[in-house]
Amino acid sequence: MLNKIKILKGYKLDSLDGEIGKVKEFYFDDTYWTIRYLVADSGNWLSDRLVLISPHALLAVNKEEQKIAINLTKKQIEDSPPLESDKPVSRQYEKAYYMYYGWPIYWIGGYPWGPYPYIVHDRYGFLQEEAEKKEWDAHLRSTNAVSGYHIQASDGEIGNVEDFIVDDETWAIRYLIINTRNWWSGKEVLVSPKLIKQVSWDESKVFVNLTREAIKQSPEYTESLLVEAKSDIPVLHSGL
């Protein structure tokens, strides 16, 4: 099912033996445009560190009750490698994190989830044979930080990132919602990550392989469009 990231923020997080907090934000990589970690606001519980949850442990999103079920116990989370709140997520930390949980490492292999093209929730059901092993450098981005970034088309700026639409089965980011109102008395439109060339931290910009006119012609985002869509929404594939 497709969900807006901003809608998921604040959802309760239910572990196997009780609530562990609420959704704070997400970290994604800008190569496969896939969510790599849910960041929990744990309140007074583990308040001195970030609580990261991989999509490998995310079982289901319940929109009616506004909560996400997690296939981990509190003890498992508490004993996981600690990450201080003021520290970035380093590759060294990620290796320790994935070794602790026994999940396949997502940055080694030829697929979005390492040796797998999909998320494997059963940690005991991983295949012994892996796909072609090649390591790639994942650049983790915060959904909170990238929200508001300016959109740089091939012929100038047009809008900013308003939100992300994520598939809660694959945890792939399907679309960026672009607010164009400051540049064009128009609307919010959808742009596929497949058309994004680069995300620049230094410039706070997202560079898109589309002209401004092509972005104007992208599908308009509406709440009904998101409700009606079961998976993908038709979007532009070329604008140059």
Q: What is the per-residue burial (b if ≥16 Cβ within 10 Å, else e) of 36-73? A: bbbbbbbeeebeebbbbbbbbbbeebeeeeebbbbbbe
- Between 24 and 224, the more confident residue is 24
Which residue segments constitute the domains of the chain, with CATH numbers given? 1-146 (2.30.30.240), 147-228 (2.30.30.240)
Percent of the chain at pLDDT > 90 equals: 62
| pLDDT classification of 211: cutoffs 50, 70, 90 | very high
The span from the CA of 69 to the CA of 12, in Å, is 9
The span from the CA of 200 to the CA of 115, in Å, is 28
**Per-residue model confidence (pLDDT) at position 120:** 79
Q: Is the pLDDT of residue 14 over 90?
A: yes
pLDDT (mean) for 15-35: 95
pLDDT (mean) for 179-189: 77
Name the average pLDDT for the chain.
Answer: 87
| pLDDT classification of 132: cutoffs 50, 70, 90 | low
**Per-residue model confidence (pLDDT) at position 179:** 93
| pLDDT classification of 133: cutoffs 50, 70, 90 | low
pTM for the model: 0.90
The answer to whether residues 54 and 36 touch, using CB atoms and an 8 Å cutoff, is yes
pLDDT (mean) for 202-206: 95
